[in-house]
Every structure is written in structure tokens, then in C-alpha cells.
Structure 1
Amino acid sequence: MNRLPGALVLLVLMSGAATVEAAQCRVNGGPWRQVDTGGTLTFQVPVTVRVGADTSRILLEGARLDCRFTPYGFPAWYTDHWSTSALAGAPWTPGPKFINQGTGLRINRGYYNTPVPFGIRIANMPNNAVGVPVDATPYILIRNNPTNPIDVRIGDVLGVLRLSQTNNYDSSRTGLSLTYTAANNFAISPSSCTINNNNPIEINFGNVPQRAIGTDPLTSSIVSNRRLTYSCPDAGITTPITITYKGTSSSFDSRLLMMTNPNVGTAMVRAGAAVPVNGSFLTRITNSVGGDDVTFSLVRRNNAIPTAGAISGSGVLVMGVP
């Protein structure tokens, strides 16, 4: 009996599924980093802390974020989107140095104060593997209040940016978390409160006989009395403040501001006491206004007679908080 040879054929059916690298980002031109669907990319980057051009905001600049969409064989209309989203969390969380400050994000030239709204579309990534800038810059609002000084040190954590990636072809998503740290030291009292409306205080003692200049700030007869006035543009500010006498002290008395004649200095006297150069006195603003009477006195080195001629010097009065 003839038998037909049998043959066993193993039929393996395979189907190919295209892989999408839909969440790739980099910071400041660094290497591209990818995250799987549902995951979160994490970055940390140092940024420069500086006052913006309009002087109403402190900007945290220097983090250039790019993202791209790199598909394999998908239609041209497939697109990824990066946005603020509740799925990623608060778009911007300020660091501990800014807890008492107003903050926000500048997104594509628009300013959004904290809490930054969800659903702001920042950038679209077509499926061409080309990096697209994701333009979001944190900022700190400068308030008209001297009680909110800012003192940033290199390495301080400034805050965290959180964004979400979605697309127009399925329900998958990824996230991004970018932690900002300080690349520079930065200190400012974010206030537009002023001393004497920011006008210069000119002290002209006139023509003075050298021997008439006293040797003690409290008893010298060569004096000029001035009224210091304090004001804040926002109403309702009541707080203790300090007024600091900033400058270079004379070589013979730290209470005196250095003048062009090394044997002469100028003191600022308040309430019967000389305020040391780079020292301060405590005073107060009540309902956004305040003031003090001070006396500037010309003082000479003990046992020295200054040479004749014009003398000058300069210092700065700075408002701060205790």
C-alpha cells in the first residue's frame, strides 16, 4: 500500500507592532532621555536668578527644555502635546525660599500666577524626530512690602516644574518633573517702599573753619538736620523696618563715613546716638508711612587739623527688615 508521506508544517503567524518613542526630552542641549508610557522624566538643572526687564518679577532663567516625537511608521498627522495638567500635578511648586512670595510661570510670553491653571498647551511635537522648545520659565513676583526679603544661595532648591505629555492618537501619557536649583547667589528686598521718595539727600555743610569741626559726633557744632520719610505704594503695610547707613567708614572712627580728607568724617545721629557706618537703627512704618529726624555731623580726627579745601563723600541709606 502506498503511503503518502506526511508533512508537518508549523505555521507561525507574526504581526509587527510599531514602537513609539513618544516622550523624549533634553535640557540645555544634553542627551535625549526617553520615558515609557505612564512614567515621568525627572531632571535637575541650575538656573540664574535675576530681576526681569520690567522689574516686577524675579526670573529663574537658564533651563532650555526641548522635547521630540520619534515614531516608527506612523501617519504624518500623529502629534504629541506638552501641557500643564492635573495628571502631572501642580504645574509649578515654589521652593522654601519663596513660600511667602507670589510666583508663577511665563509660558510662551504669557504670565500665569500661581496656582498656574491646568490645560495650558505649551508645545506640539510632530512625528519628525525634531526637538521643539517647551517654553516655560518660573518667576517670583516683587511685592511692594519690605517684610518679604529674598536671600538665595547657590544650590538652593527654587521649585519644581511639572508637565504632562499626551497625543492625538491614543490615551497614553507621560510626565515630566524639572527641579530648579540656584546657580548664583541673589539677595533682594522685593519692595518699592522708598526713603524720601528715592530722592538724593544732599548734605552741604558750607564753608567751615577747620578748627570749628568737633571731634565727637554728638558734640560737633557743624551739623545739618534732615527728615527721613518712608512710604510704600501699597496701603495697609505696618511693620518694623531698619534703616542702614551704608558706605565706607573712616580710618579713625567706625561711626563716621569716609570723606576725601582722611582727617574728616561724617556721622548720622538719631535719638542721641551715632549710627555706625554699615550699622542700622530700628524704626517703623505704620499704614505704609513713617519718618525719623536725623542729624548729620562733620567730625575731625582728634589732635589733627584738616587741611583747607573742598571735601566730599557719599553713602546710601537702605530700608530693610529686622
Structure 2
Amino acid sequence: MRLLLKGLVALTIVGSATISFSANAYTCRYRSSAPSGLAGKTINGSSNATIPVPVQDTAETGQVNIIDLAAYVECKNDNPGTYTDHMDMQRASTVLSDNFDVRVKARGVEYTVPFSGSATVLHLPKGGSGAYAPIPLQIYYYMKEIPGEKVAIKKGQVIGSIQAHKYSIPAGGAPTFVWTFTAANDTIVTSGGCAINDGNPIEIDFGSVIQKQLSSTSATRSVSRYIPYKCRSTSVNMGIQLSLVADQPSFSSSLIKTTNDSLGIKTMRGSDQLIPYNSTIRSTITNGTGGDNFTFSLLKQEGSTPSTGAFTGSATLIMSAD
């Protein structure tokens, strides 16, 4: 469940790869929406490639994309006046266990993962425009409607791969290559969960905060909120874990980052602190429902004077089976 955190510090007087293949083939490149620094970058030849992709986190049921090449990689026919170019997928796999219902979709056709066989990924026809087009390939899983397995993913970790081959008509040939996908960000994914806060964003508003009253150690500005959990089935009775996914400020790995470089947000459930990526709290679902009281506190960097003005922050609360 996405947390939306905002407030105002007021000064008051009173209180890529462009993957270039050999002649008579096609060229692929990172799109402008690719992870920072990768847009337009290239690698030459038809060798294997490592492709960083952002990984989505979610706490809701439905489809969860792990790899969406269409959002980040595009290709074009280098010689559309003469050749038709193809890319066919032979294998696909991810690091996720059998507890995750993983699928791969190529050109709108869905297959189970791990995949072994032949599936057309790319078709760049003779007589086409020769313009770049997104690669229509997604790897994703379907969230189950009860809490399930949790997997922590670290930036740079291998999260999946495909083996494919390319060929041109009439040139022929079928060079085989492997694209290995790595995570462009830290995140936590879970194979299943129940609705948190009825599926609605949790908005925490700190209001107007007096600059000089902010502390680096004590919670001088806090907001408490009861957050409910609800499963579709009233027969769910089990222990659960709750984890937090959020960027952290440069001055503390235990807080949620805000757009004010000198401010972070501490998350507590009673005496237990929920630290992004590095801690969990335990709770229970009884007859399909549950919930906990959380406290969100605004802390400043030690020795700093936070700049005035509005700020925001965001985090995701993830539910998994205990």
C-alpha cells in the first residue's frame, strides 16, 4: 500500500543498451524512460547483454510486472527496404519460486514461466517505416489473495533472463543470445496479500511545522494512524509480516526519504520501528481482517536547519505470510 506523506516547514517568528546487431538485422536501444544514465546507450554485436530494469512493488492483488521491456527498450529495422527481421524467444526464467504464478507475454500471447519453446517477440517487416518500436515483452506474476512468500530484491541482483535468437528474411541466420535482467532498484515483492487500508493510499499530513522545534532524536512532530487489513475471504486466519519499501535519506538508513534533504520520517508500530528493507513487524489476520496503529514522526538531520517550504515523501507497506 502506497503511503503519501507531506507537510510544510514554516519559519515562524511566533510559535542499453542500444543493442546493435550485424548487417541486415536490427538495432535496439534504451528508451528515454530507461533507468538513469542508460537512455541511448549501446552495445555492439550480437553478444549477450545485461539489462537493468526497474522492479515494481505492490501490496495489492492483480498483475505485478517484474520486467516490462516495452517501457525501456525499443528496436528498429536497419534496412526495411530489403529485409524482414525477427526475434524469437526460446527460454525465459526468473528468480521467483514456484509460489509465484509467473507468466511471460510476448506480442500479446501469454506463457507460463519457466518457459521453454518458441515464441515470437519481435517482427520488423520489410517495407516498414524503419522507426524504433518498443519490444512487446513482459514478465510478471499474479498476486494471490492471501498473504504469501516474500522476496527481497537488491539493486544489481539478477532477477530473470531470456534466451532468444534473431534472423532476417531473406538473409537467414539464427544467432542465439541471452539477455540477463538485473534490478535497477531495491524492492520487496510478495506472492500474495490482502488489501491494506481498503486498497486506498494512506495519506499522512504533518501540517505546518515550526522549523526550530524539529529534533534529530525525539518525535516532536508525529501523526498516528490506524491502518486496517482485509482479505476477500473471511476464512483467512494466519500470522503476517509487514515490511516497508522506501528510499532513505542520505543521513539515515532507518528513515523514509523526503524531498527536503534534511528531513526524514520514522515509522513505528508501538515500540517496534519499521525500517525500510531491513526489518519486519508481525501481526495477525483473524477471520479475514486485522489492523495496527502506526506512528509517523518527522526527524531532521543532526546539526542541520531544514530549509523552509513544502515537502513530500512516499513509501509502500508490503504484507506477506509469517
- Whose RCO is larger (CA < 8 A, sep 6+)? 2
The normalised TM-score by structure 2 is: 0.49
- Which has more radius of gyration? 1
The normalised TM-score by structure 1 is: 0.49
